[in-house]
Structure 1
Amino acid sequence: MFTGIIEDLGIVTNLKNEQDNLHLTVKSQITSELKIDQSVSHNGICLTVVAITEDSYVVTAIKETINKTNIGDLKIGDIINLERAMKLGDRLDGHIVQGHVDQVGICEDIREDNGSWLFTFSYDSSSGNVTIEKGSATVNGVSLTVVNSEKNRFSVAIIPYTYEHTNFKYFKIGSKVNLEFDVLGKYIQKLYEARL
């Protein structure tokens, strides 16, 4: 379980395919605090640490993860958002984030807005995922409040701190992002569909 508050930006230093799996090596300032078997969110994808060196660690993504996220598009040198799992009893500064990406979205628009930024993302709504204004959504692991909500797109406002301390500053129109929709909203949507 995560909060969507990014702790560090990691750098992808190696990618290795082994059968259907993808092993990522990530250089990070939090490496010294990690341990093997620990869950870490990588652009919103919960992955398990399987090896640690001095300033880098390795995680493995299976075929299911590669198919449902943008992890297969990563290249050496890419910057990714990192968050360790929350501790029981800590403040929940973001919202409840599972680290289970629902689908990939596309950055459709980026606008500077007098000291902040407005990012708009589109997604395939046929899978039943929804957003609501002032509800929560997670983009590349970042906990955000939805500003504008439509059937297959939504916008979020990004403050300067978030822009500087996440990989939002590297997004371009057309960038693929990992989306995790609000867990309570997903349950309500399923219950609603079942009653119809």
Structure 2
Amino acid sequence: MFTGIIQCMAEIIAIKEKKNFRTHVIQLPEELLLNLRLGASVAHNGCCLTVTAIKNNYISFDLMQETLEITNLGELKVGDIVNIERAAKLGDEIGGHLMTGHIITTAQIYKIITLENNYKIWFELSDIEKIKFIFHKSFIGIDGISLTVGNVIENQFCVYLVPETLKRTTIGKKNIGHKVNIEIDLYMQAIVTTVERILSPNE
């Protein structure tokens, strides 16, 4: 599990391409290497990946075809920066909200509004069916960042960002048209799915 609090931004040092498969190599800071082992889970832009190789502070992760198709990781290139969070441990502070690292869809930034001391960013979902899980004031994971939903209109929603979030994550470097990974609130998904099943005449 993850908390949605980004621990660092890391650069992709190398990408090894194979058919329907690729390996990303990133460089982690010393403080995130403590007790890091093969098989450990590390979220990249909110997507849970498994450590497959460790060489000093260069860490490798394998990405399967489904991950490349569903997330924005397949569009990254060497030199790009990703949000990083290591898996939470028992006793860790939950500063954001509990997240699994399972991306269900992506969204594109279509409007950025600069306000006094904060930013308002509007997103448009790639899969309109998923908007049923997104509500005003519900939690949402955007590229691994735990955020609270503002308004929701059709297949679009907005979030408000303070300067500190823009500074400590990649979202501050994104522009209109950029794609982000979306993880919805697990509890909201469970509630909506349960109600749908109860009300469905075919069940």
Report the TM-score, using the length of structure 2 for normalisation: 0.92
Work out which of the residue numbers 59, 62, 65 in structure 2 matches 1:60: 62
* Structure 1 residue runs without a partner (length 5+): none
CA–CA separation in structure 1 for the residues paired with 2:160 and 2:196: 30
CA–CA separation in structure 2 for the residues paired with 1:185 and 1:167: 26
In 2 relative to 1, CA 130–82 (structure 1 residues): closer, same or farther, beyond 3 Å?
same
> Could you say which residue in structure 2 is the equivalent of 1:20?
20
> Could you say which residue in structure 1 is the equivalent of 2:181?
178
Q: Does the 8 Å contact 1:4/1:97 carry over to 2? A: yes
Deviation at 1:3, TM superposition (A): 0.4
1:138 aligns with 2:175: no
Q: Does the 8 Å contact 2:70/2:104 carry over to 1? A: yes
Percent identity over the alignment? 34
Structure 2: which amino acid aligns with 1:32? L
CA–CA separation in structure 2 for the residues paired with 1:189 and 1:151: 17
In 2 relative to 1, CA 22–31 (structure 1 residues): closer, same or farther, beyond 3 Å?
farther
Q: Secondary structure at the match of 1:15?
A: strand
Deviation at 1:186, TM superposition (A): 0.9
Task: Say what the alpha-carbon RMSD is for the aligned residues.
Answer: 1.3
> Could you say which residue in structure 2 is the equivalent of 1:80?
82
CA–CA separation in structure 2 for the residues paired with 1:150 and 1:52: 44
CA–CA separation in structure 2 for the residues paired with 1:73 and 1:160: 26
> Could you say which residue in structure 2 is the equivalent of 1:194?
197
Structure having the higher Rg: 2
Structure 1: which amino acid aligns with 2:189? K
Deviation at 1:129, TM superposition (A): 4.5
Superposed CA deviations along residues 70-116 of structure 1, whole A, max 9, x for unmatched, are 11100111110000011112221100110000101101111111011
Deviation at 1:18, TM superposition (A): 2.2
CA–CA separation in structure 2 for the residues paired with 1:61 and 1:45: 10
Q: Secondary structure at the match of 2:33?
A: helix
In 2 relative to 1, CA 130–151 (structure 1 residues): closer, same or farther, beyond 3 Å?
farther
CA–CA separation in structure 2 for the residues paired with 1:133 and 1:32: 37
Work out which of the residue numbers 149, 154, 162 in structure 1 matches 2:152: 149
CA–CA separation in structure 2 for the residues paired with 1:114 and 1:74: 32
In 2 relative to 1, CA 31–90 (structure 1 residues): closer, same or farther, beyond 3 Å?
closer
Structure 1: which amino acid aligns with 2:124? S
> Could you say which residue in structure 2 is the equivalent of 1:115?
117
Q: How many equivalent residue pairs?
A: 196
Superposed CA deviations along residues 127-148 of structure 1, whole A, max 9, x for unmatched, are 4652111110000000001111
> Could you say which residue in structure 1 is the equivalent of 2:33?
32
**Deviant stretches of 4+, over 3 Å:** none
Report the TM-score, using the length of structure 1 for normalisation: 0.95
In 2 relative to 1, CA 129–32 (structure 1 residues): closer, same or farther, beyond 3 Å?
same
> Could you say which residue in structure 1 is the equivalent of 2:104?
102
CA–CA separation in structure 2 for the residues paired with 1:118 and 1:164: 15
1:49 aligns with 2:51: yes
